[in-house]
Structure 1
Amino acid sequence: MSAEKFNLFAFTGKMKVLHLSWMAFFITFMVWFNFAPMLQAIAASLGLEKSEIKTLLILNVALTIPARVVIGMLTDRYGPRIVYSALLAVCAIPCFMFALADTFVQAAIARFMLGFIGAGFVIGIRMVSEWFPANELGTAEGIYGGWGNFGSAAAAFTLPVIAIWFGGDEGWRYAIGLTGLMSLLFSVVYYMNVSDTPKGSTYFKPKNMGAMEVTSKGDFFFLLIMKVPMYAALALLTWKLSPSGVAMLSETTSLLCYVGLVLLFIYEVSHVWKVNKNIFHTPVPEMHQYKFKQVAVLNILYFATFGSELAVVSMLPLFFAETFELTPVVAGMVASAYAFMNLMSRPGGGWLSDKFGRKPTLLILTAGLAVGYLLMSMVDSQWPLWLAVVAAMACSFFVQSGEGAVFAVVPLIKRRLTGQIAGMTGAYGNVGAVTYLTVLSFVDYSTFFLVIAGTAVVGFIALLMMEEPKGHIAEVREDGSVEMISVGHG
């Protein structure tokens, strides 16, 4: 842990690692969301129909659910420096593929593969937790999350301008290719300039690769139950792409996908058993135990916070355009107020957690979240536009501060599993997005907002079971000695 002062304007030691990490995350989000702002130009250029555009939007988030879990495991095993650099370099390839696509199928394959870059977020959570002490961790993770997340808004503002600057109907290809080039170049910058831990610190790795460790029999079954919604979301995506939905997959392919998901789940259950079977005959010493319910509660909260953010960001321009009869450009600008809040809200949520405790902060923010979406469900054309924008921004504050507060707790559960826990919690955000967007395809806007408010209430109830992190996490060094990592208030 680095003892230097927390100075946002410094670019040495832990602050340098923080700045480079949020920049890496910023670039991953810019690449991940690089086509949404130019959808109309891309659709015109490739001759896409409305259903095909919707399919690209779904494919863009599909792979991120399993990717976040896989990337979390790789990060714990090989360290964030290598994994982040590799992700930035490798994902530049599908980005270039998308920029060069001539048909819908080529574009769809590239977009599906690009879902992997949405997992970059998880890597930095572990990196930042290695460099900052518990009493600064919420703020640091909040800055990492909030400023990096702004990559999607930056893409919305800059890429259409770059596309116009390059000119012509093919301008979008240059804009998207440019984000791939940034990703490729920054992978080198990141690799050359960071290390996994401060000098002299140990990087703790999980005992096993392939599944999350749990420390009690009850938690073994709890982990398996919490895996189910992730597979259910992937089945839901398959259904949306099947003949019952946008018909991108044939009946046979859809069936194969369903069978594949069942087999994958069975395979994962066997892995969880292999990693954890010893707890059924040898209890884990108390100092090495952690409670999986902490992870489960954070999963539910991230489902409601980040899940609703991803869903709302993609439908808000349309909501404003239809409700207030605005032009697409004006609606896009008005809706971007929601994303803009990220710069301050997420660090704010983390800072509040550091200051006033993890659980009280989450309780207040989750309650605010429920009220915020309840308010959004009442917005209609009778409202003055400015008031609707204020309501969206207030709602957005609670959503994003809530995300910051969730990830102020994630690194305090079990240090060597931080990547895996962040991966699972992050994946739940995507599960939430898939769920909410599916709900939206069946109901009106008002009901959609009410459903999110309802899940926030469920999150609030679950939160009552969570325990405030306190004391220390015990981790074993390679020489067998035990290091105690403080997680309480300092």
Structure 2
Amino acid sequence: MASEKFNLFSFQGKMKILHLSWLAFFITFFVWFNFAPLLQAVKTTLGLSTEQVKTLLILNVALTIPARVIIGMLTDKYGPRLVYSCLLIVSAVPCLMFAFADSFLQAAIARFLLGFIGAGFVIGIRMVSEWFPHHELGTAEGVYGGWGNFGSAAAAFSLPTLALIFGGDDGWRYAIGITGVMSFVYGFIYYFNVTNTPKGSTYFRPKNLGAMEVTSKGDFFLLLIMKIPMYAAMALLAWKLSPNGVGMIEANVVHLIYGGLVLLYLFEVKKVWNVNKTVFEQEVPELHRYSFKQVAVLDILYFTNFGSELAVVSMLPLFFAETFSLDPVMAGMVAGAYAFMNLMSRPAGGFISDKFGRRTTLLILTAGLAAGYLLMGMVNSQWPLWLAVATAMACSFFVQSGEGAVFAVVPLIKRRLTGQIAGMTGAYGNVGAVTFLTVLSFVDYATFFYVIAGTAMIGFVTLFFMDEPRGQIAEVREDGTVELIDVSHK
């Protein structure tokens, strides 16, 4: 573990890895969110209907849930250096496909495949955890998450201008094409400038790639239960594309997708059994155990905080426009304040977590998140606009600090499984977004905010079942010797 001081203005050692990694994450989000800011231009050029545009927005996130789980597994097995580089290089292909699409079908396939780049976040969580000691880990992961996440806001601000500079009907194509080229080039830059661990450190890999390892019988069943909402979210996305939703696919195809998801879940049950059946034959020694309950609590928290962030960012401009009769540009700028908070809030959540304890920080931030959304539910046209914006920004602080605090805990559970734990937790964030946006399609804005606040209270209660990470976690080196990794102050 690198021992130099934590200095954001340094570009040496562990700080170089942090800067290169958040930039990789920034580029993945820049590419993933390159459609929404240019939506009108794409709609006009390709002659799309409003329903088809909605379909493209759904397809953009459809693959991210399974992708985060898969990418987490690959990261643990092959190392973040290789996996991040490959993801950036390969994702340039569907990005350029979308830039040159001349039909709805081509655009739909490209957007669906681009959902994979939304999994990039998971890779850096493992990379950063290899380079920073436990007492700096929350801050480092917060900087990685917060600054990288800003790629979505950067796309919103810069791509329309870039399209205008190129001009003409195809300006948007060049703007989107440039994001693909950036991703492709940066994949090589990342590969040749990072290593998975500091010199002399061991990169611990899971024993099996097929499924997440657990260390008790109870955890085996809890893992299977926690997998179900991810499949339910994918079924919900299929329903949105059905005749009951935007009508992109026929009812019999939707039923085939439902059947496929059930078979896929049963296949995953089999894989989980193959990897973990030994826990039914003999007890795992205390030294090598970890509590999957910790992962389940973090999943629920991330469902609420990142799930609500993704949902709220997409509806907030419309909310402000309708509530305060603002023009679209003004509403977009006002709503942009919510996303801007990411730059400071995620690092702040990680920093507070490093200083004051993991569980205490999460309890405070989750309570603040619930209170923030309760207030958001009360906002109406009688409020002064500045107060509504201040409420949204305060709510955003608790949401994004909470995300930082969640990922301050993720790498402290079991080092060799960090990618998989981050993948599952990250996937739950997308499950939350799908759930909250579906709720929004049935209820008014106030109820939508109250539902998120209620979900946050459930998360708050589950935190009492989470244990503060203490002492050390044990990992076995290839030569059979055991290494103890500090996860807290003695």
Q: TM-score, normalised to structure 2's length?
A: 0.99
1:137 counterpart letter in structure 2: L
How many pairs align? 490
Deviation readout 1:302-354 (Å, 9 max, x if unpaired): 00000000000011111111111111111111100000000000000000000
Q: Which moved more, 1:249-258 or 1:427-436?
A: 249-258
Offset, 1:47 = 1.2
State the match for 2:418 in structure 1.
418
Offset, 1:489 = 3.0
Is contact 1:354-1:489 (8 Å) kept? no
State the match for 1:457 in structure 2.
457
User: How far apart, CA to CA, are the structure 2 residues paired with 1:226 and 1:404?
Assistant: 22
User: How far apart, CA to CA, are the structure 1 residues paired with 2:449 and 2:48?
Assistant: 30
Deviation readout 1:209-228 (Å, 9 max, x if unpaired): 11000000000000000000
Deviation readout 1:330-388 (Å, 9 max, x if unpaired): 11111000000000000000000000000000000000000000000001111111111
State the match for 2:323 in structure 1.
323
Offset, 1:52 = 1.2
Deviation readout 1:379-418 (Å, 9 max, x if unpaired): 1111111111001000000000000000000000000000
State the match for 2:254 in structure 1.
254
Alignment of 1:10-25 (within 5 A): 10-25=10-25
User: How far apart, CA to CA, are the structure 2 residues paired with 1:105 and 1:191?
Assistant: 33
Offset, 1:46 = 1.1
Offset, 1:57 = 1.0
User: How far apart, CA to CA, are the structure 2 residues paired with 1:34 and 1:215?
Assistant: 41
User: How far apart, CA to CA, are the structure 2 residues paired with 1:375 and 1:224?
Assistant: 36
Alignment of 1:226-241 (within 5 A): 226-241=226-241
2:3 counterpart letter in structure 1: A
State the match for 1:167 in structure 2.
167
State the match for 1:375 in structure 2.
375
Alignment of 1:42-53 (within 5 A): 42-53=42-53
- Which SS does the other structure have where 1:475 is aligned? strand
1:317 counterpart letter in structure 2: P
Offset, 1:256 = 1.0
Deviation readout 1:408-444 (Å, 9 max, x if unpaired): 0000000000000000000000000000000000000
Q: TM-score, normalised to structure 1's length?
A: 0.99
2:89 counterpart letter in structure 1: A
User: How far apart, CA to CA, are the structure 2 residues paired with 1:122 and 1:170?
Assistant: 34
Q: What stretches of structure 2 of length at least 5 have no aligned partner?
A: none
- Segments of 4+ in structure 1 off by > 3 A? none
State the match for 1:77 in structure 2.
77
1:370 counterpart letter in structure 2: A
In the alignment, structure 1 residue 39 sits paired with structure 2 residue 36? no
State the match for 1:148 in structure 2.
148
State the match for 1:190 in structure 2.
190
- Which SS does the other structure have where 1:91 is aligned? helix
User: How far apart, CA to CA, are the structure 2 residues paired with 1:168 and 1:328?
Assistant: 22
Alignment of 1:216-231 (within 5 A): 216-231=216-231
State the match for 1:300 in structure 2.
300
User: How far apart, CA to CA, are the structure 2 residues paired with 1:379 and 1:107?
Assistant: 37
Alignment of 1:462-481 (within 5 A): 462-481=462-481
User: How far apart, CA to CA, are the structure 2 residues paired with 1:46 and 1:322?
Assistant: 28
State the match for 1:65 in structure 2.
65
- Which SS does the other structure have where 1:473 is aligned? strand
1:442 counterpart letter in structure 2: F
State the match for 1:92 in structure 2.
92
2:317 counterpart letter in structure 1: P
Deviation readout 1:419-470 (Å, 9 max, x if unpaired): 0000000000000000000000000000000000000000000011100000
State the match for 1:55 in structure 2.
55
2:352 counterpart letter in structure 1: L
User: How far apart, CA to CA, are the structure 1 residues paired with 2:187 and 2:390?
Assistant: 38
State the match for 1:269 in structure 2.
269
User: How far apart, CA to CA, are the structure 1 residues paired with 2:210 and 2:86?
Assistant: 19
Offset, 1:103 = 1.1
State the match for 2:398 in structure 1.
398
1:467 counterpart letter in structure 2: D
1:303 counterpart letter in structure 2: F
User: How far apart, CA to CA, are the structure 2 residues paired with 1:331 and 1:274?
Assistant: 52
- Which SS does the other structure have where 1:273 is aligned? helix
User: How far apart, CA to CA, are the structure 1 residues paired with 2:210 and 2:175?
Assistant: 38
Q: Cα RMSD over matched residues?
A: 0.6
Is contact 1:366-1:457 (8 Å) kept? yes
Offset, 1:250 = 1.0
State the match for 2:28 in structure 1.
28
- Which SS does the other structure have where 1:210 is aligned? coil
User: How far apart, CA to CA, are the structure 2 residues paired with 1:384 and 1:51?
Assistant: 35
1:474 counterpart letter in structure 2: A
Offset, 1:488 = 0.6
State the match for 1:279 in structure 2.
279
